[in-house]
Structure 1
Amino acid sequence: MTFANIALLAAAFTTALIAGLFYSYSCSVNWGLGRLPDAGYLAAMQSINREILNPLFFMSFMGTLLLLPLSTWLQYGQGSSVRFYLLLAATLIYAVGTFGVTIMGNVPLNNALDAFQIQSVSPETLHQQRELFEKPWNALHTIRTLANAIALILVLLACIIKSETLRPA
């Protein structure tokens, strides 16, 4: 097994881990949290947002951001332009649609929520804060989840495609 194949497998693994995390949020965590009253929802999201910043999360989230371009670069000129272009597309989609949306959208919302003092505000203010956070956060989460799923499909295709070059028709 070549280093390029090992890097590709690692990229597929980390991409799948993040896709699974975002998918599980989409089909269970967000729905469960959505049923909580305002104070419970906000407190739960504060706790989750603090706890997710751990080495296991960063290994897959940042690992994908490093391994996808590495795999793409290693495939360049290696006899499979199809694999190269699949990985290039996966890299761009992940970098913009998953990582970029998270950093530019979800993280600022998380930071604003983290600074919010739940215990010292009125029920009306709790509801306003939830409205400011929940709908935009979930919309951005849907974008990054779909982008990550598309990136994963492209990586998986790159894993199974034969090592052939594109030939003009």
Structure 2
Amino acid sequence: MAVLRTVTLVGAVLLSGLSAGLFYSYACSVMPGLAKVDDRAFVDTMQRINTAILNGWFMLSFLGALVLIAAAGLLHWRGGDRTVLLWIAAAVLYLVMLVVTGTVNVPLNDELAAAGAPDTLTDPAAVRAAFESTWVRWNLVRAVTSTAAFGCLVGALTRAS
């Protein structure tokens, strides 16, 4: 049972760290870099990124993190570990990130895709304006909440060893 507890906790730490790193990367490099390109290039690039990220490996790590956070918390709690608040905090923070993703960022991505191919847009500046600032702001929320969840799990890992 101790091995299972450790494996689920390490898995939760790793997967939540991957998500935190993804959103951090967007916040400090991808979106600032794209802020410097013209409107048509911005729309084209974001549409391509939004298509590329929808793959099984990403979804497994992105959604699997919450499953492992919950499993690790349950296994450690049943094992007598009293640091259950760290898992609860991590789960809540990660869930907030998922809710923001599903209610803000994904709908914006869908609207961007529905705008059509960049070379056919009559007003790519309007398409970009309807997307960029809101998406960037809420991505920052995702970066902060997923990083905080990762931090809680690192704290749990240090207490578990």
- Structure 1 counterpart of 2:94: 94
State the TM-score, normalizing by the size of structure 1.
Answer: 0.89
Alignment of 1:72-87 (within 5 A): 72-82=73-83, 84-87=84-87
Q: Answer yes or no: is the 8 Å Cα contact 1:12–1:156 preserved in 2.
A: yes
- Equivalent residues of 2:100, 2:142 under 8 A apart: yes
CA distance in 1 between counterparts of 2:12 and 2:160 reads 18
Match of 2:110 in 1: 111
Aligned residue number for residue 140 of structure 1: 138
RMSD, matched Cα:
1.3
Q: Deviations over 1:65-118 (max 9, x none)?
A: 211111111122322211x1101110011012x111101110000001011122
Unpaired segments ≥5 residues, structure 2: none
Provide the secondary structure at the position in 2 that maps to 1:152: helix
Equivalent residue for 2:159?
161
Q: Secondary structure at the match of 1:157?
A: helix
Q: TM-score, normalised by structure 2?
A: 0.94
After superposition, residues 1-169 of structure 1 pair within 5 angstroms as 1-82=2-83, 84-96=84-96, 98-117=97-116, 118-122=118-122, 125-161=123-159
In structure 1, runs of 5+ residues without a counterpart are 164-169
Of structures 1 and 2, the one with the larger relative CO (CA 8 A, separation 6+) is 2
Distance of aligned partners of 1:136 and 1:77 in 2 relative to their CA distance in 1, 3 Å threshold: same
8 Å Cα contact 2:43/2:128 also seen in 1: yes
Structure of larger gyration radius: 1
Identity %: 33
SS at structure 2 position matched to 1:146: helix
C-alpha contact 1:109 1:133 (8 A) present in aligned 2: yes
Segments of 4+ in structure 1 off by > 2 A?
118-122
Shift of 1:162: 5.1
User: Structure 1 80/39 Cα, relative in aligned 2: closer, same or farther at 3 Å?
Assistant: same
